[in-house]
Chains A and B, each alone.
Chain A
Amino acid sequence: GAVVSQHPSRVICKSGTSVKIECRSLDFQATTMFWYRQFPKQSLMLMATSNEGSKATYEQGVEKDKFLINHASLTLSTLTVTSAHPEDSSFYICSAGPRTAGNTEAFFGQGTRLTVV
């Protein structure tokens, strides 16, 4: 399958600081990428759709000013958690997929475990 790389895999930050997470498609171009969040023992919840060259689309209840998304190239999307608080501690995962006819398989990055202390 296609390769999606996410960095960092783990980060600990102080409350009130910002953290940037990168998501790269390594062997295909991705005009669209998706950011998910997963709390312990729960399923993945879509946060936003990252669109190359335009504004991200956020799901209901997700604060766009807190979770800044930038998709400046066809292979890179970044998620910045601004003014992080302990309740933002979670597992953040991005996904993308190569657009081929009849195939909408999406592949996930390795995920980023964020701990806010």
Chain B
Amino acid sequence: QKEVEQNSGPLSVPEGAIASLNCTYSDRGSQSFFWYRQYSGKSPELIMSIYSNGDKEDGRFTAQLNKASQYVSLLIRDSQPSDSATYLCAVTFNDYKLSFGAGTTVTVRA
């Protein structure tokens, strides 16, 4: 599998703050990039997908992709306690066969 690295956690942020998550990948040919949220004991839930360079915003989430730097990030604005979870970065070349990072655990302090 292709290598995907995420910034080590855990990450603790106060409620209302911005949580910033980073991910780098090794395969320059990767085409599709995803962020999944996984609550403890549950399966991953897709929260963002991004395919081209730049920013993509969806509600309080913003994904940023820089293919030249092989870097993808996720910003969570106005963090809520319900955002406390493990966030998984996933990368694929051109199909659904995903390579996952180790995940970053985020805790939002009320």
Contacts and interface: CB of A to CB of B under 8 A. Distances in A.
B46 A44 contact: no
Given A59-B1, A104-B32, A105-B49, A44 B44 contact: yes
Name the residue among B32, B44, B96 with the largest chain A CB count within 10 angstroms: B96
Interface stretch (A12-20, A68-76, A80-88, A95-103): A95-103
A111 B42 contact: yes
Given A43-B103, A105-B49, A49 B97 contact: yes
Interface of A: 1, 6, 32, 34, 42-44, 46, 49, 59, 91, 93, 95-97, 102-111, 113
Nearest to A30: B96
Interface of B: 1, 31-32, 34, 36, 41-46, 49, 51, 88, 92, 94-103
A44 B100 contact: yes
Contact of B94 (A6, A44, A93, A104): A104
Contacts of A108: 36, 43-46
Given A44-B88, A111-B43, A104 B100 contact: no
A93 B41 CA distance: 11
Given A43-B101, A44-B88, A102-B51, A109 B96 contact: no
A96 B96 CA distance: 7
Contacts of A111: 42-43
Nearest to B42: A111
A1 B92 CA distance: 18
Contacts of A104: 31-32, 92, 94-96
